[in-house]
Amino acid sequence: MKSLFFYGTLRHVPLLDCVLGRGESVGDFEAAELPGYAARASLDGLYPVLIEAADAVTEGVVVRGITDDELARLNYYEGGFDYDLKSVRLSSGDEARVYVPGQGVSAAETLWDFDVWRAKWADMTVWAAREVMAGYGHLSPDEIAARFPRIRARAWSKVLAQSGRHGRDVLDGRVEIVSRQQGYVNFFAMEDVVLRHETFDGGMSEPVDRGVFVSSDAALVLPYDPVRDRVLLVEQIRMGPVGRDDPVRWQLEPVAGLVDPGETPADAARREGLEEANLHFAVLEPVGECYASPGATTDFFHMFVGLCDLPDGVAGIGGEVSEGENIRSQVMEFEALLAMADDRYIANAPLGMLTYWLHRHRDRLRSGS
C-alpha cells in the first residue's frame, strides 16, 4: 500500500475514481500541502506542471492505501503525458509519492487554478479518462498520447450532449449497457455495444448487439449575404462518396468543421468561416441541431446561417493545409441554390435543411428584422 499526493486534475474525485478503477469512493484521502514546489499552468491551462520553487507551497490531497494494481493504472494514465513518480515529504512530515513532469512538459508563468479548471474542464476530462482507461492492458501510453487530441474532442462532444435542445415527447427510458468495446480507433472510432433498453410496454428488451461510428460534434454554417441575396458554398473531396464508390466524390457543402474542446458551436462556426472561406459573420442565426444518422453514428451537427458580405471576387481556394484540406468556394444567387434543392441536386443533407430554413426566414433576414 502506498501514499500519493495529487495536486492537479486527479484531485477531482470522479476522475481519480475512474483512473483507479475502484467503482466507488476514493477512500482514505485528506487535504495536504507540498512545500518547495509550485503548480504552474500548462500552456493550454488543462493541467498543472509541478516546478521546484524554494518558497512555494502547493495544495492538494494525499491518498493512502494505493494498491500495486491501482498504481499500475495511475502510471498508465500519467505515462502518456510524460509524468514520472518522485518521493517527496509533505508539510505534515509524511512521505508520499507525486507525479512530476518530464523535461518535455512546458509551463506558463501563472499558477494553475484547480477551481477554474474544474468549472470548465472537469466533465470533459472524466469522459476522456474513461476512453483512456478502456485502453489499459492493450494500448501503450504512447499510443494513447498520440490519440489524445481526438479522445479529448470526443469527450467534449459528450459534454455538449448534456445540454441539447432536442428530446421533447420521446420515451425517457432505462438503458443498460451490457458491454462496450472499441473495435477501431484513429481519427474516428468504432464501438461495439451490447445493450438492453426499456420497451414501450414498460419491460426490458433482450440484449441487442450493435456497432456505432464515434465522431465529435461539428458546426455547420451557410454564409448568406442578405443585401445581395447570395450564398457561399464550399467544395471538397469527401470520404463518404469515396467509400460508397460514388463517381461524384467532390461535394458542395456549407462551411463546416469539428468543434474543438472548450469551444461553443458558435465559436467553431466563426473559426471555420475564417479558415475555409476567409469570412467574418456579422450575425449567426441558429438553425437547429441534429444527428446525421442516429441509428449508426454519433455525428451531431450544430447548424447556423451566417450573415456576411459576399461581394464579387470573394470566392477562392482555402482550407487548412496542415489538416489536408483543399477547399474551393463559390458564390451563387439564393434562387439558384433553392432550384438545386428542388431539383434534387443537393446530396448533402444539412445543406438541404439550411436551404429550406433560409427560404422560410429569408424575407425577415433581408428586412433586417
Task: State the residue range of the domain holding 193.
Answer: 175-214
- What one-character-per-residue DSSP string does 126-140 give? HHHHHHHHHTTTTS-
Across 2-16, 88-102, 221-235, the highest mean pLDDT is recorded for 221-235
Number of H helices, E strands in the chain: 8, 16
Structural domain total, the chain: 3
pLDDT tens per residue across span 345-354: 999 999 999 9
Give residue 99's region: left, alpha or beta (phi > 0; psi -120 to 50).
Answer: beta
Domain harbouring 343, CATH code: 3.90.79.10
Within the chain, what is the greatest distance between any pair of CA atoms?
Answer: 78
Specify the pLDDT at position 296.
Answer: 94
Same domain, yes or no, for 200 and 271?
no
Catalytic annotation present for 30:
no
Confidence of residue 167 (pLDDT cuts 50, 70, 90): confident
- Assess if residue 157 is contained within a domain: no
Per-residue confidence (pLDDT) for residue 103, from 0 to 100: 67
The cell for 52 is: 521546484
All 3 cell numbers of residue 163? Answer: 445540454
Spot the catalytic one: 323, 325, 333, 335. 323
Cα distance between residue 94 and residue 346, in whole Å: 68
Query: Same structural domain for residues 223 and 356?
Result: yes
The sign one gets for the Cα dihedral 56, 60, 64, 68 is: negative
340 and 243 within one domain: yes
The reply to whether 205 and 65 lie within a common domain is no
Residue where a domain stops, chosen among 166, 189, 214: 214
Tell me if 9 is assigned to some domain.
Answer: yes
Same domain, yes or no, for 46 and 184?
Answer: no
| pLDDT computed for residue 26 by the predictor | 59
Q: Which of 167, 187, 214 is the last residue of a domain?
A: 214
